[in-house]
Amino acid sequence: MMELQHKMVEAEQAGLRLDKFLSLSMENVTRSAAERWIDDGLVTKDGRPLSKSYRCAEGDFLEIRVPDPVPLEVRPEKIPLEIAYEDDDLLVVNKPKGMVVHPAPGHPDRTLVNALLAHCGASLSGINGVLRPGILHRIDKDTSGLLIVAKNDFAHQKLAVQIKDHSFTRIYEAVVHGNLKEDSGTVDAPIGRHPVDRKKMTVTKQNSRNAVTHYQVIARYCGFTHIMLKLETGRTHQIRVHMAYLGHPVAGDPVYGPKKPAPGLDGQCLHARLIGFVHPRDGRYLEFSSELPAYFTDFLNRLTLL
């Protein structure tokens, strides 16, 4: 049975193509998935199916029939996992740098999802469909650290509400280029897709979503600053985009940083250090932390303190 959802078009969303509106306003919905739903007649207004080229108007009240998850077609792979916590509802995984979270074009296997299927079998939430079973949030391939995985739809829905309400605690550590002027601060700048390079995100007021990142300096080095960051929102590439926006891109970031990477780094120096949430079943607050990995500490050890 399909899940029925409703969406109201706000003033700032008026004029968006329908497929783009759905991908921006619904959690974990890609534009290609939105296009499929529209083509299948699952998105209606006043009972009438709409086309993907339909331009939304302020006040439009849309009905979306979200299809049931398609049977999983990703194969399990016995890949070692570092598990910080596990019970019948969820697990917290410490993802290594270099591992992609879920399959995508160019990365069909050796992903975290492949490893989870081997570890958990069929006991993963199906809410996000074929390629993302149990995945509530993700971290980039070259970012290491903690993320939470839902084993059933009940846990997924409860945890997703915490993420949406910003009550999910996510703290990162990073090394950024340059010397931040302030010891702490907040970046409150909306993030959307880059208008030219569709693989990148950027700070923009056009077709964007609000994004808030808090940062605090841990230590200052010659040419670099070690910082702690707390996410209030969880947009794609949020930390990397926000720090580049400040003029202090993450060290080793090949997309938003200098074309010539920091010596000794392969990928960005960014680690998901701590995660905290209320357990969906019993209401306990749980918090887990992860030690800085060797690539991160080795880089810090090569730097000179100010």
Nearest to 287 by CA among 273, 301, 298, 269: 273
CA distance 222 to 64: 53
Nearest to 233 by CA among 264, 296, 187, 273: 187
Q: Which amino acid would we find at residue 7?
A: K
Strand ranges, E, within 165-299: 169-177, 184-188, 191-193, 201-203, 208-209, 212-221, 224-231, 270-278, 285-289
User: What are the two backbone dihedrals, phi and then psi, of residue 167, each rounded to the nearest 5 degrees?
Assistant: -100, 5
CA distance 156 to 92: 13
Nearest to 144 by CA among 243, 270, 287: 270
Handedness of CA 151, 155, 157, 160 (dihedral sign): negative
Residues whose CB is less than 8 angstroms from the CB of residue 227 and which lie 6 or more positions away in sequence, other chains included? 173, 174, 175, 176, 180, 215, 216, 217, 218
Residue in 60, 89, 140, 253 annotated catalytic: 140
183 is catalytic: no
Residues assigned a catalytic role:
140
